[in-house]
């Protein structure tokens, strides 16, 4: 009876067009699409090659001067590990199957460094910008024209969601040229260009970003259930899902309002942003865009996300959610504490939740192997997609050079260490504060509060590597914070020209 039920279940699945995981439509050997022509394989670590074949058969994997046997299990899955290789190429990977399965070849492979870039729209924003949203890239046309880099390879995974972890993607690697780069993540591209030139190695960039996605959509389901600290995200998701049934009516009402404004010769009214239902599916984007890559060896992760988590309901939980994501990805990829480099969300006219999220991102630097690129000084008050992605990519590259490549470069702006009290004022101490300065302007963005936690704007002055902050409205200040509002005036820099991060001493 049990076997009959299972056969019936399999029939339903196949009839619905959903492939059984590990099942093969034919006896031919197959590699995942991530192991395609033009791919970059991670140097200096064991090289993982995997795929599918007829169950219980042998395959032979060969790359460069290496050859190894692998055995397909009862589901047809096989896996092989080759010895680490130095940067180089191009090489050809061959997989030879037993009997009639034949031989599979993948060509033009490079050995170098592979970085996985993810997040929401500011990571997704391509070299051609978002023309429909009036969000161009700085010097976009010139950047696209010069985007021919034979040693940089691109894997662009387009936005998709799944109810369960997928074992493959449909996209394949391409060479980096104007045609392929124009639709690729600008932040990832500028980062990869810098790293390839500085480290003199081939670089593989994987773009797996989706605009509007909250942080927990990129958690695995394991990650979402690993700690009670992430449960508030699911509660927030429940509130969002209650509104989904009303979406058609909401869109219809907004269209009527737009049409009425147009007929009256008035500007179109501003409507609330409505997230895509599938992008907010718990673990959905992770299942379709990240899970299929967990067998791929990497140098590290790049992350730019947080804008969708700035609501008053979600922002207080961002530290727990973001920290959990870093732990989750490192566990899923099982390659140790891979470098996790991220951009702090920028300056934007959208309320206090932005300060909460920025500070949560700062506090996540307590996790080993992390670094943060502060972007306050490239933000645009009325544009959530700032045009200057070159600066963001360059600052992430500085972080990589220090964290991943061990170079002694200045990579971080001034970071809050502690605040001490003195008569009528507070003194703020920073790390990475060599040559603390204001780029010739005045010190702005500081606020102080007493025991009641009610913050007011404060005067501030640089004294060496510290800042003294005071306000006549708070004679005995107890707390201090910096650049907390959505629009934050960056005023503090170190001698490396890197800006200070939002912080609060609370």
For residues 207 and 126, the answer to whether their CB atoms sit within 8 Å is: no
Cβ-in-10-Å burial (0-12, 13-18, 19+) of 183 comes to middle
Residue 253: predicted pLDDT: 86
Quick one: CA dihedral 50, 51, 52, 58, positive or negative? Answer: negative
Whole-structure pTM value = 0.90
d(CA 458, CA 242): 43
Residue 26: predicted pLDDT: 46
Residue 168: predicted pLDDT: 98
d(CA 207, CA 127): 13
**Kind plus residue range of the DSSP H or E element containing 429:** strand 425-431
Quick one: CA dihedral 159, 160, 165, 171, positive or negative? Answer: negative
Place of tokens 């061990």: 406
Q: What is the mean pLDDT of each run of 10 residues along the chain (506 residues)?
A: 36 36 56 98 98 94 97 96 98 89 93 98 98 94 98 97 95 98 98 97 98 93 83 68 74 86 86 66 92 98 96 90 96 97 95 93 98 96 96 98 97 98 97 95 95 97 97 97 93 97 97
Rounded to 10 degrees, what is the CA torsion of 427, 432, 438, 439?
170
Instruction: Read off the tokens for 284.
Output: 């959905």
Residue 312: predicted pLDDT: 87
**Kind plus residue range of the DSSP H or E element containing 75:** none
Residue 18: predicted pLDDT: 39
């Amino acid at each position: 009876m049990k076997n009959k039920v299972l056969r019936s279940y399999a029939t339903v699945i196949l009839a619905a067009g959903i492939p059984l995981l590990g099942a093969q439509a034919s006896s031919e050997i197959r590699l995942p699409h991530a192991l395609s022509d033009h791919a970059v394989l991670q140097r200096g670590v064991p090289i993982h090659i995997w795929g599918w074949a007829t169950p219980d058969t042998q395959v032979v994997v060969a790359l460069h001067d290496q050859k190894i046997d692998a055995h397909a299990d009862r589901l047809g899955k096989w896996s092989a590990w080759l010895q680490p290789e130095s940067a180089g190429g191009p090489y050809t990977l061959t997989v030879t199957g037993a009997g009639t399965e034949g031989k599979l070849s993948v060509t033009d492979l490079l050995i170098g460094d592979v970085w996985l870039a993810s997040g929401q729209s500011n990571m997704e924003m391509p070299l051609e910008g978002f023309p429909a949203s009036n969000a161009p890239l700085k010097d976009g046309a010139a950047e696209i024209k010069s985007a021919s880099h034979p040693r940089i390879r691109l894997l662009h995974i387009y936005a998709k969601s799944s109810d369960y972890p997928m074992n493959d993607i449909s996209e394949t690697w391409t060479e980096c040229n104007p045609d392929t780069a124009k639709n690729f993540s600008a932040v990832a591209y500028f980062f990869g260009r810098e790293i390839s030139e500085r480290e003199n190695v081939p670089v593989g960039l994987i773009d797996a970003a989706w605009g509007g996605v909250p942080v927990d959509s990129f958690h695995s389901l394991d990650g979402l259930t690993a700690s009670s600290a992430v449960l508030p995200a699911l509660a927030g998701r429940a509130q969002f899902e209650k509104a989904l049934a009303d979406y058609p009516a909401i869109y219809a009402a907004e269209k009527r309002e737009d049409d009425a404004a147009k007929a009256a010769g008035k500007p179109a009214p501003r409507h609330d942003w409505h997230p895509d239902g599938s992008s907010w599916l718990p673990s959905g984007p992770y299942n379709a865009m990240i899970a299929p890559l967990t067998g791929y060896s990497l140098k590290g992760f790049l992350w730019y996300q947080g804008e969708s988590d700035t609501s008053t309901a979600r922002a207080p939980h961002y530290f727990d959610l973001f920290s959990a994501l870093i732990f989750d990805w490192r566990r899923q990829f099982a390659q140790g504490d891979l470098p996790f480099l991220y951009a702090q969300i920028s300056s934007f006219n959208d309320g206090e939740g932005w300060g909460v999220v920025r500070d949560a991102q700062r506090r996540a630097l307590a996790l080993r192997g992390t670094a943060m690129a502060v972007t306050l000084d490239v933000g645009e008050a009325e544009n959530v997609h700032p045009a200057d992605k070159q600066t963001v990519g360059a600052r992430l590259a500085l972080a990589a050079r220090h964290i991943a490549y061990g170079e002694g470069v200045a990579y971080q702006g001034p970071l809050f260490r502690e605040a001490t009290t003195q008569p009528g004022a507070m003194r703020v101490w920073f790390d990475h504060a060599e040559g603390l300065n204001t780029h010739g302007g005045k010190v702005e963005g500081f606020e102080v509060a007493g025991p009641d936690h009610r913050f007011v704007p404060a005067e501030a002055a640089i004294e060496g590597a510290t800042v003294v902050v005071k306000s006549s409205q708070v004679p005995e200040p107890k707390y201090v914070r910096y650049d907390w509002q959505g629009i934050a005036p960056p005023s503090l820099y170190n001698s490396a020209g890197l800006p200070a991060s939002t912080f609060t001493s609370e």
